[in-house]
Amino acid sequence: MRFIVAIDGTAGSGKGTIGRAVSRHYNFKYLDTGLLYRAVAFNLRTITTEFSSISEKMILKSIKGIDKNLLELKELRNNEISEIASLLATNFCVREKLLDYQRNFANQKGGTVLDGRDIGTIVCPDADVKVYIDAEEGVRAKRRTIQFKKQNIEVTYQEVLRNLKKRDRQDRNRAIAPMLPSSDALMLDSTNMSIEESLGIIILRINEELKKITLNS
Ligand code: DC
């Protein structure tokens, strides 16, 4: 069996927390695709600061340098890397090179959960369940600031809010694979919802789809 759950949404909307919880619930494999863009940003920063004029060779070198240890680095989460990742995400070559990795991951046997910005629209348009999560930006910034504090990352609410707004604008308005809900996605506004409430709604939807597969097999 192959079963794909695609979770897209705005920065800090809780899609990562929810994606991980869904994967634990069903014992599905999980990929945070934003981390890939962050890892490329981290590696590229050691080669250049001119992110608007990067070569294919530099991109390939940065992608080759991605490994499990890098993906676990706390520094990948900071505001500076977030901003570079969002900028690099406008680059066609970066997106194209990361596409194969994401699709290979999604298509493994068993269930997979991927979260990002273009999973339901570009990476896995045939995903079994698609979700798009958003929340008011003030609420997202507050949640993110609390997360940073827990990880001992020094940052103010105002800095986080500025970063979220800038990235949302950039991610939404880029020419290639913009952040956008797929027309068949379950739309979730988590402004006034707990993680458990959002998770409950998504689980109901996944169960419905899993039931259809069982009935048809
Ligand atoms: O999900 P995140 O905040 O960690 O993602 C960091 C940046 O990476 C985000 O601002 C835009 C980019 N990104 C993307 O363009 N497409 C994805 N599927 C995931 C992330």
Question: What are 88-98's pLDDT values in tens digits?
Answer: 999 999 999 99
Q: Cα(201)–Cα(190) distance, rounded to whole angstroms?
A: 11
Ligand 1, atom nearest to 77 Cα: 4
**Atom 3 in ligand 1: residue holding the nearest Cα:** 11
Mutating to test ligand 1, I would choose from 86, 112, 165 the residue with most ligand atoms within 8 A of its C-beta, which is 86
Which of 16-20, 48-52, 108-112, 124-128 bottoms out in mean pLDDT, i.e. has the lowest?
48-52
Residues in contact with ligand 1 (CB, 6 Å cut-off): 11, 33-34, 37-38, 82, 85-86, 89, 116-119, 167, 171
Ligand 1, atom nearest to 35 Cα: 4
Question: What are 165-193's pLDDT values in tens digits?
Answer: 999 999 999 999 999 999 999 999 999 99
Write down all domains in the chain, each with its CATH number in brackets.
Answer: 2-206 (3.40.50.300)
SS3 assignment for the chain: CEEEEEEEECCCCCHHHHHHHHHHHHCCEEEEHHHHHHHHHHHHHCCCCCHHHCCHHHHHHHHHCCCHHHHCCHHHHCHHHHHHHHHHCCCHHHHHHHHHHHHHHHCCCEEEEEEECCHHHHHCCCCCEEEEEECCHHHHHHHHHHHHHHCCCCCCHHHHHHHHHHHHHHHHHCCCCCCCCCCCCEEEECCCCCHHHHHHHHHHHHHHHHHHHHHHC
Q: What percent of the chain has pLDDT over 90?
A: 90
Model pTM score: 0.95
CA of 141 to the centre of ligand 1 (A): 16
